[in-house]
Amino acid sequence: MIDRRAPGPRSRRKTRGALLGPAPVAVAVAVAVAVAVAVAVAALPAVADAPTGAPPIRAPLTSSVVDPAGRTWLVVPMGILSQATNTFWQLFVRPPAAGAGWTLVTPPGVADNGGLVATAGAGGLQVAVLPSQDLHFSPLASTADGGRSWSPGLVPAALDASPDALAVAGSGAVAVVDGGRLLLEESGRSGSWRRLRSAADLAPTGAAAECRPIAFSAAAAGPDGSVVVATACHRTGQAGLFELAASGSGAPTAIRVPVASGSRARTLRLVAGDGGVAALLALGGRRGDRLEVATLAAGRATVSASFRLDPGESLVASGSVPGGGIFVLLRGRRGAERLADERLGRWDSLPVPPRGTVAAAFSPGRIDAVTVHSSTLIDYTIDAGAAGWRRAQVVRVPIQYGSSG
């Protein structure tokens, strides 16, 4: 019997084999290398997105603020910082009395793994808890007695992860929510919030046309019950600062800040102080990345000298300086920190803070640098005129690991 099917395929295989024959090893190696390269490239981490031209520096929530009563408040993350659900943000307060230490006063009743935003006003301190996991709105807590007792409230939307997303303004508060798309206003202390303005509303107005706002990034109490807001701008050469009237009615007033043509600016902080509102600006352009502080008073903006950032340097913490001004704690590519503050248009560098400093606080007559090791906070202070930092206090925090899942 003749197998009529068998010869055909065999002869075709021979032909293919003859064509591939000379270099099967090379072909196999090339395929193997290509597959390995493809898998390795696919497994590389994605590069973080950043707007073109804008300096990549961002303002973290770690910050400090001095309230009108002279108390210094410090917001700092603790726990296992590499795990979102084991990172617990803490609030510390130190009374104005000389020699007083930090006390843990984190508001109870809600998990704060998403972060805390604190804002000081004449009535005391208001703290918002940022959303985390399945919580999508922001509980509030306010204290008028230095953190001994807290009153609950809420922002009925997701507060932005910006240290100035909440501001005490007039008798109520304003909040930047929903990724900067909306500005909400609380009328009085009623706990009832209303929509004040959206970034889209702002865009077509005359004052905003030059900026073409993208989203709100910060808010602060302005003069006469007004609100100063910062927005990210589509256009270069714009700082994106506006003043909204107390009632929210009327067109916003653009606050003109001289920014070098072609530079892209981002407002990192808006801090209300005795001398007006101070805006910490990050600028990028031909002159490299730098920081400047614009002080807004009486409808005018005065801009400080520039503070040049080293390549790859990031902002670790920031806060207000008593008497007006802003300080910044920066970390370089190699992990070394530096601390500087701006007052009256001038930047001053302080002695290098202890290795691993994650936060700082400027109080009347005192500067603190803080390191955190899981549940332990170590406070260092520097005496006036001294060249070095000395260890002042150790606080152990009873963190409830695993309580957030």
Partner 1 sequence: MGSGTDATGSSVVAAFHHTLWRQFLVVVLLVVAVGVLRAVLRARQLRALSAGDGRPALGPPPPTGTGAPAVRLLRVGFGLFWILDGILQGQSAMPLGLPLRVMQPATTGTPGWVQHLVHFAVTTWLGHPVTAAAAVVWIQVGIGLALLAAPPGGWSRAAGAASVGWGLVVWVFGEAFGGVMAPGASWLFGAPGAALLCAVAGVLIALPARTWEGPTAGRWLLRGAGALFLGLAVLQAWPGRGFWQGGRRGGVVVMVRSMAQTHQPAPLADLVRAFGTLAAGHGWGVNLGAVTAMAAVGVGLVAGAGRVHEPRPAIATAAAVAATVLCLADWVLVQDLGFFGGVGTDPNSMPVLALLVATGWTALRHPATATARAATVPAAGTPTSRRSPASVLNAPPAYLLRAAAALAAFAVVLLGAVPMAVATASPSVSPALTEAVNGPPAAEDVPAPGFHLLDQAGRPVSLATFRGRVVALAFLDPVCTNDCPIIAQELRMADAALGATARRVAVVAVATNPIYHSPAVVRAFDRQEGLTGLANWYFLSGPLPRLRQAWRAYGVTAADEPAGAMVAHSELAAVIDPRGRLRVILGTNPGAAAGAGRASFSSLLDQELHRFVGRP
Question: Which residues here bind partner 1, judged by CB under 8 A?
Answer: 1-6, 9-10, 13-14, 17-18, 20-22, 24-25, 28-29, 31-33, 35-37, 39-40, 42-45, 78, 88-90, 104, 106, 108-114, 116, 129, 132-137, 139, 150, 152, 154, 156, 191-192, 397-400, 403-405
Question: How many Å apart are CA 211 and CA 253, to the nearest integer?
Answer: 12
Shortest Å, Cβ 106 to partner 1? 5
Tokens of 185: 């206003």
Question: Between residues 9 and 311, which has the closer beta carbon with respect to partner 1?
Answer: 9
Helix (H, G, I), strand (E, B) or coil at 41: helix
Question: Between residues 191 and 237, which has the closer beta carbon with respect to partner 1?
Answer: 191
Q: Contacts for 299-302 with beta carbons within 8 Å, 24 or more apart?
A: 299/243, 299/253, 299/255, 301/239, 301/241, 301/255, 301/256, 301/257, 301/258, 302/345
CA distances from 80 to 31, 372, 396 (A): 43, 10, 14
Question: Between residues 190 and 247, which has the closer beta carbon with respect to partner 1?
Answer: 190
| DSSP secondary structure string for all residues of 345-388 | TEEEEPPPPPTTEEEEEEETTEEEEEEEETTEEEEEEE-TT-SS
Question: Between residues 83 and 403, which has the closer beta carbon with respect to partner 1?
Answer: 403
The DSSP code for 159 is B
Question: How many Å apart are CA 117 and CA 1, to the nearest integer?
Answer: 89
Q: Which residue, among 123, 138, 231, 213, has the nearest Cα to 169 in the 3D structure? A: 123
Query: 35: part of which helix (H) or strand (E)?
Result: helix 24-43
Shortest Å, Cβ 152 to partner 1? 5
Shortest Å, Cβ 18 to partner 1? 7
Shortest Å, Cβ 132 to partner 1? 5
Question: Between residues 113 and 162, which has the closer beta carbon with respect to partner 1?
Answer: 113
Shortest Å, Cβ 33 to partner 1? 6
Strand ranges, E, within 30-171: 63-66, 72-79, 87-94, 103-104, 116-121, 124-129, 138-143, 151-155, 166-169
Shortest Å, Cβ 341 to partner 1? 28
Question: Between residues 33 and 305, which has the closer beta carbon with respect to partner 1?
Answer: 33
In degrees, rounded to 5, the angle at the alpha carbon of residue 72 between the alpha carbons of residues 67 and 78 is 125
The DSSP code for 8 is H
Shortest Å, Cβ 304 to partner 1? 35
Question: Between residues 24 and 51, which has the closer beta carbon with respect to partner 1?
Answer: 24
Question: Between residues 10 and 355, which has the closer beta carbon with respect to partner 1?
Answer: 10
Question: Between residues 44 and 47, which has the closer beta carbon with respect to partner 1?
Answer: 44
Question: Between residues 107 and 325, which has the closer beta carbon with respect to partner 1?
Answer: 107
Tokens of 309: 């950032």
The DSSP code for 252 is P
Question: Between residues 4 and 286, which has the closer beta carbon with respect to partner 1?
Answer: 4
Shortest Å, Cβ 193 to partner 1? 10
Shortest Å, Cβ 173 to partner 1? 15
Buried (b) or exposed (e) across 21-57, using 16+ Cβ within 10 A? Answer: eeeeeeeeeeeeeeeeeeeeeeeeeeeeeeeeebbbb
Report the 10 Å Cβ neighbour count for 205.
Answer: 14
Shortest Å, Cβ 83 to partner 1? 13
Q: State the pairing for strand pair 63-66/314-320.
A: parallel
Residues 6+ apart with CB under 8 A from 62: 75, 76, 77, 163, 316, 317, 318, 358, 359
Shortest Å, Cβ 247 to partner 1? 23
